[in-house]
Amino acid sequence: MKIKNICCIGAGYVGGPTMSIIAQKNPHIKVNVVDMNSDKIAAWNSENLENLPVYEPGLSEVVSEARGRNLFFSTEIEKHIINSEMIFISVNTPTKTHGEGKGYAADLKYVESCARQIAAVSKNDKIIVEKSTVPVRTSEKIKEILTSNKLNINFQILSNPEFLAEGTAMRDLEIPDRVLIGGDSTPEGQKAIDSLVEIYSSWVPKSNILTTNLWSSELSKLTANAFLAQRISSINSLSELCEKTGADIEEVSKAIGMDSRIGNSFLKTSVGFGGSCFQKDILNLVYISRSLGLKKVADYWEQILIINVHQRDRFSKKIIDCIKSNNLKQKVLLLGWAFKKNTNDTRESAAIYVANNLINEMIEIDVYDPKVSEDQVIDDLSNLNSDYDKTLVKFIHDPFSNISEYNSIAILTEWDQFNDYNWKMVFENIKKPAYIFDGRNILNVDKIKKIGFNYFALGRK
Using the contact rule CB under 6 A, the part of the chain among 212-220, 271-279, 297-305, 442-450 near ligand UGA is 271-279
CB of 164 to ligand NAD, least distance (A): 5
Active site residues: 277
Taking the least distance from each CB to ligand NAD, the nearer of 45 and 357 is 45
Work out which of 30, 126, 312, 340 binds ligand UGA, going by CB under 6 A.
340
Taking the least distance from each CB to ligand UGA, the nearer of 189 and 336 is 336
How far, in whole angstroms, is CA 137 from its chain's centroid?
23
CA–CA dist 273, 56 (Å, integer)? 19
CB under 5 to 8 A by kind: which of ligand NAD, ligand UGA, none does 225 bind? Answer: ligand UGA
Taking the least distance from each CB to ligand NAD, the nearer of 31 and 403 is 31
* Residues forming a β-bridge with 408: 332, 435
CB of 276 to ligand UGA, least distance (A): 6
CB of 115 to ligand NAD, least distance (A): 9
CB under 5 to 8 A by kind: which of ligand NAD, ligand UGA, none does 92 bind? Answer: ligand NAD
CA–CA dist 322, 343 (Å, integer)? 31
Taking the least distance from each CB to ligand UGA, the nearer of 164 and 354 is 164
Describe the chain by its helix, strand, coil percentages, rounded to 5: 45, 15, 40
Work out which of 101, 183, 275, 459 binds ligand UGA, going by CB under 6 A.
275
Work out which of 71, 179, 193, 267 binds ligand UGA, going by CB under 6 A.
267
Which residues contact ligand NAD (rule: CB under 6 A)?
A: 9-15, 35-37, 40, 77, 90-93, 110, 113-114, 132-133, 162, 164, 166, 276-277
Determine the 3-state secondary structure of 116 from DSSP. Answer: helix
Helix and strand element counts for the chain (H, E): 17, 14
Q: Are 458 and 268 in contact (CB under 8 A)?
A: no
Nearest position to ligand NAD, beta carbon: 12
Binding to ligand UGA (CB under 6 A): which residues in 221-240? Answer: 225, 228, 232
Which residues, 6+ apart, have CB-to-CB distance to 225 below 8 Å? 133, 277, 278, 281, 282
Q: Where are the alpha helices (DSSP H) in 180-294?
A: 187-200, 214-245, 249-257, 278-291
Residue 135: which region, alpha, beta or left (left: phi > 0; alpha: psi -120 to 50)?
beta
Length of the chain measured in residues: 461
Q: Which residues bind ligand UGA (CB under 6 A)?
A: 133, 162-166, 225, 228, 232, 266-268, 270, 273-278, 339-340
